[in-house]
Amino acid sequence: MNIDQLKRKFNEKYGKGELHCYFAPGRVNLIGEHTDYNGGFVFPCAISFGTFCLIRKTERKSVRLASVNLGFEAVVDIKDLDRPVGREWVNYPIGVFAQFLKRGVKFNEGADILIYGNVPNGAGLSSSASLEMASAVAINDTWNLGIEMLELIKMAQKAEHEFAGVMCGIMDQFASGMGKSDHAIYLNCDTLEYELVPVKLNGVKIVISNTNSPHKLDSGVYNQRVSECKAAVIEISRYKPVQMLADCTMEEFKAIEEKFVDKVVMRRARHVISEIARTKEAVSQLKNNNIERFGILMNESHSSLRDDYEVTGPELDTMVEEAYKIEGVIGSRMTGGGFGGCTVSLVKEEAVDTFIEEVGKNYTMKSGLKPEFYVAEISDGAKKLF
């Protein structure tokens, strides 16, 4: 759906008049999974799929919210913008409104809002962070609040914690807000220091493979992993003072891993600590144009997520295993929270068509599910379109 079609939809629903449109991208994480809430490094990039937020301020004392994608609509009084509405999608933008209220912003007028997203829901490409960031930049600009992008990113993360119940790290919102075309973001999730690293993949494409087995971060398993990582910090603290798993190097971990009382907790820690090391090396290899080594590190990342962190599942594993069989695949791994969703693969340009045909056919034969494939373009972060 293009911008003109969206404007017509908005005018059909709310009537004609001046309106503005904002866009925030989804993201794909090239490497560095489940490290963000452990204070480690991640390496995501914004993609061309995302969420559009069309908005018009009104004299009414309520906010009307509707979506092109989803049937549920809501009318929320401005005095109730700090309260969730059941378990509906509108809680993402309402949760963002609530964060503005917490900062002392007073909304004396309402608004009409229409949302459209072309990030596949439940695919692990951060449709929720994209919706939160589109809402944040739209509200910030519409009410001329002047809040900096980094603060908007933190507010969007808080909205996910408090209104969706997912204790996510900051990577998804950060990538959606700070993305830059043809660059990935090397982000320290503890300090929020970051570097925009050029992604020069001469003759190589980023292919996202959607298993169409939706991931459900709010199922409780994600929050369970967060708790297991906190337990690992307590275990490591018996031997070395640490505040988070990122404070422990791989060498230090190897010296104490056999001393862990809880072996499950030990494996969770091993994934996080080794993944942080892999991410650091991967960025270095990309800067040196060693894409083959980058691909090996992607493969190792997936194995760790499968064996130590146990967040892949049969669909993601099948997709990755089929990818490895294709000549011209440099590396492949799950991306996002896991438990379904997408893989990301680096594929030589001449092998992309074969990859999509063969991996798709074999995946369907083994899983019974029909996958979708996207050749990703790396895009800019959240912004006003008009």
- Residue spans per domain, the chain: 3-197+380-384, 198-375
CA dihedral 181, 187, 189, 193 (to 10 degrees): -110
Tell me how far the alpha carbon of residue 163 is from its chain's centroid: 17
Name the helix (H) or strand (E) containing 56.
strand 44-58
Fold for domain 198-375? Alpha-Beta Plaits (3.30.70)
Fold identical between 3-197+380-384 and 198-375? no
Catalytic residue list contains 172 = yes
Q: Does the structure show a pLDDT above 60 at 17?
A: yes
Q: Which of 36, 112, 172, 308 is catalytic?
A: 172
Does domain 3-197+380-384 sit in CATH 3.30.230.10? yes
pLDDT at 62: 97
52: its two tokens: 């559009």
Q: Is 383 helix (H, G, I), strand (E, B) or coil?
A: strand
pLDDT confidence band for 125 (50 / 70 / 90):
confident
pLDDT confidence band for 214 (50 / 70 / 90):
low
Handedness of CA 145, 148, 149, 150 (dihedral sign): negative
Return d(Cα 373, Cα 233) in angstroms, integer. 38
Q: What is the pLDDT of residues 84-117, one digit of tens each?
A: 998 899 999 999 999 999 999 999 999 999 999 9
